Amino acid sequence: MKTLRNAKVGETVTVVKLHGEGAVKRRIMDMGITKGTTVFVRKTAPLGDPIEVTVRGFELSLRKGDCEMIEIA
């Protein structure tokens, strides 16, 4: 299983499935990250956390823990 955390900078990926439960999953979905959404990985912080992505024309910063819940293709 490949997750958003494993994506390289400059890569465009598609969300396959969201893992996790409850409020965390709902928060990710509220940010616009849903099944079938295209995500562009813009950059990562020097220590690797957070990861900055572009989703639906918006720039988001996601923690590594949240990125592990997003399965990609």
CATH number, domain containing residue 39: 2.30.30.90
Q: Which domain holds residue 36?
A: 4-72
Count of domains observed in the chain: 1
pLDDT in tens, the chain (73 residues): 899 999 999 999 999 999 988 898 999 999 999 999 999 999 999 888 899 999 999 999 999 999 999 999 9
Closest CA to 67 of 22, 26, 33: 33
Record the pTM.
0.87
Q: Which residues of 12-50 are buried (b: 16+ CB within 10 A; e: fewer)?
A: ebebeebeeeeeeeeebeebebeeebebebeebeeeeeb
Rounded to the nearest 5 degrees, what angle is found at the Cα of 6, between the Cα atoms of 3 and 9?
125
pLDDT of residue 1: 87
